[in-house]
Structure formats: structure tokens, C-alpha cells
Structure 1
Amino acid sequence: MLARHADPIVAIATAPGRGAVGIVRVSGKQLESLVQALCGRSLRPREAAYLPFLDARGEPIDQGLALFFPAPRSYTGEDILELQAHGGPVVLQLLLARCLEAAAEPDPATGAPRLPGLRVAQPGEFTERAFLNGKIDLAQAEAVADLIDASTEAAARSAGRSLSGAFSHEVQLLRDALIQLRMLVEATLDFPEEEIDFLRSSDARGQLQRLQQRLAQVMQRTQQGALLREGIKVVIAGQPNAGKSSLLNALAGAELAIVTPIAGTTRDRVQQTIQIEGVPLHVIDTAGLRESSDEVERMGIARTWEAIADADAVLFLHDLTRAAEREYQDGDAAIESALVQRLPPQVPIIDVWNKSDCAPQTEGPRQSPARPAIVLSARTGQGLDSLRQTLLQVAGWQTAAEGVYLARTRHIQALQTVQHHLHQAALLLDTPDLPLDLLAEELRLAQNALGTLTGEFTSEDLLGVIFSRFCIGK
């Protein structure tokens, strides 16, 4: 634990701006003297008191509710004082300044400062204290930020599951099973002459297989949770006037992009985040792809290819009303060739045939059996539901997924590391001359990777990255 973790801290815990209520929060050890200075009297634990908040002269700065939570029954595990005042920025700044001022004042009883070392909290430092003092684990701490940042109802509910400990419970079950297997292997190391029979009679292989199966289930739910948190980036690409801007507007349900019959209207990227069944989709409308002598349009086309290179999925938009034109077919073929060359193989391409309401009934899309194709009308909305479901499918979302908890990229990477080490352990179990020391090491590494999820094995650098992304006061 770093030296700064022992400092008492204070911060405004509500969002900047004006509101009905604003909160100033203090966390530290032995806050009773500070409480006396700010409130004029002591407070009963966990009982709201309506009273004036006093300045150095004993004059009220504001009146509001004061709450005192003695350690260890508090959010951070330390003493916590919360001052709930009117939510004006000036009032809250005055209260913050008064907390710092009162902390440096001498205590009438001892003559020492009331709360020496009180400083303004860094981002996420209250939640970091909660983690360091064992009130929550690291996965739950991250869920606090994810709950605040949730962009959909499904994401908020999943973050709530993680905060309540659902994800941590799954990790704990994996850890317990892994420890049991490690104990078996470590014990076998002490009796090398009986190692094979001992492992067989204890069903080491069966234990490992059951552990791998449980891990696979956790990884599946974690990947679903990562989709809820991160969403996917979808780029709409195609020739000019295929209806890219109209499709963006139709998906978003709002007029976000300018739509005209003039080719090259869209010069730059237009992005909108929508949600389908709670999954965020960051949809990007781009400039039409074609040869152009217009410098501004050429810059827009270059940015289109930049967006495509960074996409999780590409909607390749085709115009059904021009599908029979040779020149249009050549343009689509050129885009197709460029997409194949520039996109990684794992990035899906969805062929979207637009303007079905205007196309001759005799015309039909040329479909590739290797990828999905959707026929729709961005103007009338026909076919949009099919496109939405296809987007969820290529993203890997399972509609009936239950018990999903919000997850981060680092969670998936840690579980993949666990999976790798368990796979290596399984291979070792199948070798004729079983190297017990190597088997024990693979299981130890798997447990260490699991420990990074809840903070059992976590570097100070990683903690700094995680909590620095919180808001101040949380």
C-alpha cells in the first residue's frame, strides 16, 4: 500500500453543474473532531441530521443533511462524513474549502490539527480505498464505474450483477476448484512412487475437465458482457447515393445525416450510437467510395477507409435500382476487391441491398454464399428488423443469454490466459512420463491469472490505470 493511501481525502461527489442536491464526502480515520467543527456537534452513526454547515466564524455556509459512517461499516472501510447541501457549484466549493480549512485547525482538546494531511481525492480514490480495505474486490470496483457509464438498460443491469458479486462468485468457484486440484498435485509431488495411481484414484483428469467446462461457461457470459459494455463499431460503406445516410437515419430514428440526390453529399464521417436489445452499436456513415477529382471529397474517402480499417463489422451498401448497370457493377467490384485486401478476415461484411421499394421487381441482389445479405428500404423501413438481428448475430450476441455480467477486455484476456494454462495442464496429464513439477506450475499460473480478476494478484500500475478512469468523488 502506498503512503498516499493513508491520507484522509475529501471531494465533491456529485457531477459538476447545478442541481437540487450536491454532496461533499470525506474519508479518513477519526473524523469526530472534523465533524464537530463543520456541524457544531457530534453525529449519531448512520443517522441523517438536518443542520447548518458552519464556516470558521460559526456562521452557516448552507443547511442540509449530514451523515456519519464510522469505520469499518462504511463504503471505504474508513470513517466517512457526507454533507448533502444545495447543489450549487459555489456552495459546494465553499464546503470543500471549509473541510480543508477545518482539518488544519487545532483541536480544542489536544491542540493538534483536527485531521492532519486532508487533501482533495484523486479520481476513483474512494472506491480504491474500498478495494484496498476489503470492502469490495477489483471486479466489483470496476463495476461501480461501469454502472455509472452504462449506456443501455441491459448494460446497467449487468453492471449491477457484477457489483453485487455475481462475477466474483463465479471466479471464486473456479478458484476453489483450481486450488483443490493444485493441492492434489502438490501432495502427489511428496509421494513420487505412487503418483500415477494417486492421481487416477483422485480423478485428477475429471476434475480438470470439469474445471475447463465451468471456465468455458464463464467465458461465454463474460464475452456477452463485454459486448454490452463496449458494443461494436459498424461502418456503412458503398458507392455514392446508395443510401448510406438514409440508412443511418433509419437505424437511429432521427435525421442525423443530410440526404440529397447529389452524389458526394457526405464528405466526412457521421457517427451515432444506437442500441439493439441493449447492445450498443456505434454506426458510422461515411463518404461514398469512388474516384474523385474533388480534393475535399477525396479527403472524405480517405477517412472512410480509415473508419473501415477500424471497424468491427462493415455494411456494404448496394443500390438495387442500379444493380443492372455495368458501370455500377464495376464500382461495386472495385470496392469489394479493396475490402477483401484491407479488412482482416475476422471482420464480417454484410451485403445490404437498399431501395427495394424503388427497384424493378425483376431485379434481385447478387448474393454471396459466404456472408449474409439483407434486402431493405431505408426510406420505408422494410427489412430493417432483419438487418438489426443480423448485426446482433455477427456481433456474437445471444438473445436468450441469462445472468450476463458486464465485463472488460482485461477480464476476457485474463480468462483466456487461464484457459491456456489449463489446456497445457491437460496436455501434461496425457504424457506418458507425467512431469508433475510442470503440471503444478501450469496450475499455479492459471490461479495467478484468475487472481488478477478480483485483485488477489494485481500490480500497483494496473490499479492506477483502473481507478484513474473513475470520476472524482467516487
Structure 2
Amino acid sequence: MYIKDTIAAISTAIGEGGIGIIRVSGPESIQIVNNIFKSIKAKDLADVDSYSAHYGHIVDTSGQVIDEVITLVMKSPKTYTTEDIVEINCHGGMVALRKVLDLILQQGARLADPGEFTKRAFLNGRIDLAQAEAIIDLIRSQTETGLKVAVNQLEGGLSNKVKDIRQDLIKLLAHLEATIDFPEDEIEEFNSEELDGRIDGIIERVEGLLKTSQRGKILKEGIETAIIGRPNVGKSSLLNSLVREKRAIVTEVPGTTRDIIEEVINIDGIPVKIIDTAGIRETEDVVERIGVEKSEEFLNRADLVLLVLDGHQGITSEDQKLMEAIKDKDGVIIVNKLDLDSKLDFNKIEDILPGRPIVKTAAIENKGIDKLENVISTLVLDGEVKNEDQTLITNMRHKNALDRAHQTLLDVKNTFKMNLPNDFITIDLRAALEAVGEITGDTIGEDIIDQIFADFCLGK
């Protein structure tokens, strides 16, 4: 058990709100809160039932009332951290919360480090490391699909698959080591076909998880998407259509957008960060030029580019320069203003950007937007078929561990084919076992654990 000192922190977001919650966890949590909480019914928190709520006041050492509160008492071991936990529900607002927190710290609690409540849940064995990391993913989810993936991981979806792989590796390793350590017992050794079959089965499951990493990364981090084009081709109208509101100013005057406008939208469960950039062109206007430079900077780092062309005006020299600039980028060509007579030479687009998807729109009238979203989804997922299994690799640390496990398992197959002694095979199996164990925290250093929980917010 990881029960040391008692920690406390404000668990709700900074700012005004209906309520603000202070969380206290550790062996002295109930007694510490008891010292400053005066129940309306004169209850002693040490004697109340677990998971019970109590109305009263927080008072300072002079007896002055600080706030009217509801106090929740949760007793070990069936709590978030497995320790005694008390949560004080105060009125929202930082002055009252900070005064109550100060009183708790004066009574002997320590201010919690970022993520320390969840870290204690992990160190006390209530959750593994993959589940702990899922909590921060759940908090930061930007779409319903991302939320489902995080909940699946929190409930052990990934952990169970990893543990099954690890268990099979342990059984295989134990058998091989027994043949080495106890040759006199004449333990039956694996033949080539049997060992290959068992290793192939494990490799197949590791590869199955690795195949989900691209989609998992996209669902977690989203896709940075730049809307580019020369001025007045309809970029801002396109942004407004995609976000379903008038987010950007639309006028007949070229160069209206002079700064970066950013919105996150949900396309088929994918968080797509849409950036409406200033029209890219040569200009003497100092302010517009700054906007153009920022647009060019974002274009260089965007994952996906939506190049908007004016179908009514045809392709200009500025359009051609932009098409040349995105030759090495994933993107969609949007031919806007389909409601007007088209003067666009589609052969020229194919010559410069062969094979790029082309979508015709009338953005100001919301025409063609659904088709554009379908094209973006298909392009981003690279034709990957969605399935109902929400167990995805969303964490680069997990992917790196599986990559190392995969390579060492391939090394096992090669070692066996070379007829090398079993000692060499067990070395590779141990490396694979250690790599897989890093995902759930079975084989990981304290420094890595500290680094993971440092990314959490205070009070979680």
C-alpha cells in the first residue's frame, strides 16, 4: 500500500461556479476535516457511514464561519485512491475555496502534486498505468468517439488485451527456462512448428493493436487542417459552413481575414482543428502581410490542407503557386461557387496535383459540405474500416512499447531458426515481456511514472 501523508487540493476548475470541491485523501483526512467542520447535527465524521453526505459549516480556529458546505466521507478501501477520502463541496469562487484549503493545510495535510490522487490509485493497485492515463484522455476528449475510447481504456479494454499477451509470454518463458534449469527432469522442448505457432499468435495480437495506433492518435490529438487560398475565394464561408455558425466575417472585399481563426469540429468522430487563414497573396498592406506570413507558417505544419479555388474565376497564377506549394501535403481541392458559371480548367488541377480529391461546393449556401466531410473522413482514416471495438492505441508511449515487443518477438523467431540455444530465446522473450509490461506499469521506472502523472491537473 502507498499510504503515507495526507494530501489535499482544489479539484474543480479555477473561476466562479455553482460549487467548488476540495478533495482530501490519506490516513488523516477524516480527522483533519473533522477539526474544521461543524455538522448541523453535531456528527463526528469518524463515526459516519462511508459514502455519506453531511451538511454543516467550515470554521477557522477562532470559530468564524468560512463557508456553508456539504461534506462527503468515503472510507478506505473502496475509494478512488483506496485511502480515506473527504470531499468538501463549497460555494463556487476562489476566495472561499482557498481559505478552506489553507485551513486544511494548517491542520497537517500537504498540497497534492498534479495527478497525485490518481497516482495513489495506481500505486495502491486500484488501477493500472494504462487506466490511469485513460483518465486524462477522458478529461481532454474532444468528441464522443474519443470519449468512448477513453472510457473503454479506463474500464480495462486495453489492459486486458495487454495482460493476455503478457500472460502468454510468461507461460512460454517459464517453459523454456524450465528446460534449461532442470534438464534432468526431461521436460519436453518445443519443436519448431509449435514455437513458431505460439510466437505467431502473440505477434498477431501485438500487430492488431499496433494497427489501431494511427486512428487512435487521430481520435486523441485531432487533425490540424488549414483552409488556404487567395483572397475572396470563399475560405471564411467554408469555415462558417463547417462549424455551422457565422464564425468568420464574410464580405465582398478581398483580404477581410487578416488573422488566423481556429475552430475544432467533429467529423465522423474525428476532432478536426480547422484554421481559416488569411488569403495568401502579395500585398503592400502591413497588417495583411503579417496575416499572410502566419498563414504560410501554419500551412507548413498542417496535417491536412483544404485548397479553395474560385470556380467562377478559373485558375489564376496565384492559385498555381499555391497548388505547387502543397504538392507534398495531404489535401482536398475545393472548387467553390458552384452556383455560378464555372470557368475552371480541371485538367490543369490534375496536371499539377494528380489524384487529389476534388469537391465542388457553394459554401455560402452550405452546398457540398456533407460530401467534403465524407472526403476528409476517408482521407484521414486512409480507408480504414471503423469497427465497434473501441480498444485503440492512443498513447505514443504504448505504441513505442508495442513496437519494441514486436521487434523482439521477430528476433525470437530468427533465433530459433538459427538453432541457437534456448538461453538466447529467453533473453528476447524477457525483453518483450518487459516492453509489454510498461503499458500497464508492471515493468516501469519511478521516473517515468512521475513524468506521466505530472501531465495531470491539480486535484485529479
Superposition TM-score tier, normalisation by shorter sequence: 0.7 to 0.9
Partner of 2:105: 100
Partner of 1:372: 357
Pick one of 139, 142, 164 that aligns with 1:173.
164
Pick one of 9, 14, 21 that aligns with 1:11.
9
State the 1:253 CA deviation.
Answer: 1.3
* CA 1:362–1:162: 2 relative to 1, 3 Å: closer
Alignment partners' CA distance in 2, 1:193 and 1:358: 88
Pick one of 441, 447, 451 that aligns with 1:455.
441
8 Å CA contact 1:43–1:67 kept in 2: the answer is: no
Pick one of 440, 443, 455 that aligns with 2:426.
440
Pick one of 381, 403, 406 that aligns with 1:396.
381
* CA 1:418–1:394: 2 relative to 1, 3 Å: farther
Alignment partners' CA distance in 1, 2:244 and 2:29: 53
Q: Deviations over 1:107-139 (max 9, x none)?
A: xxxxxxxxxxx2111221111111111111111
8 Å CA contact 2:312–2:344 kept in 1: the answer is: no
8 Å CA contact 2:313–2:343 kept in 1: the answer is: no
* CA 1:362–1:445: 2 relative to 1, 3 Å: closer
8 Å CA contact 1:246–1:378 kept in 2: the answer is: yes
Q: Please, which moves more after superposition, 41-50 or 164-173?
A: 41-50
Classify the secondary structure of the residue corresponding to 1:25.
Answer: strand
Give matches, 1:28-39, under 5 Å.
28-39=26-37
Alignment partners' CA distance in 2, 1:437 and 1:390: 52
Q: Deviations over 1:119-167 (max 9, x none)?
A: 1112211111111111111111111122122222222222111111111
* CA 1:192–1:160: 2 relative to 1, 3 Å: same
* CA 1:439–1:237: 2 relative to 1, 3 Å: farther
State the 1:63 CA deviation.
Answer: 3.5
Give matches, 1:332-411, under 5 Å.
332-340=319-327, 343=328, 347-360=329-342, 364=346, 366-367=349-350, 369-396=354-381, 398=384, 400-405=386-391, 407-411=394-398
Pick one of 113, 125, 137 that aligns with 1:122.
113
Do structure 1's residue 256 and structure 2's residue 243 form an aligned pair?
Answer: no
Alignment partners' CA distance in 1, 2:371 and 2:183: 61
Q: Please, which moves more after superposition, 463-472 or 270-279?
A: 463-472
Question: TM-score under structure 2 normalisation?
Answer: 0.88
* CA 1:62–1:303: 2 relative to 1, 3 Å: closer
Alignment partners' CA distance in 2, 1:169 and 1:231: 26
Alignment partners' CA distance in 2, 1:425 and 1:44: 58
**Which amino acid in 1 is paired with 2:195?**
A
Alignment partners' CA distance in 2, 1:254 and 1:192: 75
Partner of 1:133: 124
Partner of 1:418: 405
Q: Please, which moves more after superposition, 432-441 or 270-279?
A: 432-441
Alignment partners' CA distance in 2, 1:371 and 1:177: 45
Do structure 1's residue 427 and structure 2's residue 432 form an aligned pair?
Answer: no
Classify the secondary structure of the residue corresponding to 1:262.
Answer: coil
8 Å CA contact 1:188–1:199 kept in 2: the answer is: no
Alignment partners' CA distance in 1, 2:172 and 2:305: 45
**Which amino acid in 2 is paired with 1:401?**
N
Identify unmatched segments of 5+ residues in structure 1: 104-117
State the 1:375 CA deviation.
Answer: 1.8
How many residues are paired up?
Answer: 448
Alignment partners' CA distance in 2, 1:381 and 1:419: 47
Give matches, 1:184-203, under 5 Å.
184-190=175-181, 198-200=189-191, 203=194
Pick one of 45, 48, 53 that aligns with 2:53.
48
* CA 1:9–1:267: 2 relative to 1, 3 Å: same
State the 1:59 CA deviation.
Answer: 4.8
Pick one of 62, 70, 80 that aligns with 2:67.
62
Alignment partners' CA distance in 2, 1:467 and 1:353: 47
How large is the RMSD of aligned CA atoms in angstroms? 2.9
Classify the secondary structure of the residue corresponding to 1:318.
Answer: strand
8 Å CA contact 1:221–1:403 kept in 2: the answer is: no
8 Å CA contact 1:350–1:373 kept in 2: the answer is: yes
Classify the secondary structure of the residue corresponding to 2:442.
Answer: coil
Classify the secondary structure of the residue corresponding to 1:258.
Answer: coil
State the 1:277 CA deviation.
Answer: 2.2
Partner of 1:113: none
Q: Deviations over 1:64-103 (max 9, x none)?
A: 3323333332211222222223334332222212212233
8 Å CA contact 2:30–2:85 kept in 1: the answer is: no
Identify unmatched segments of 5+ residues in structure 2: 39-43
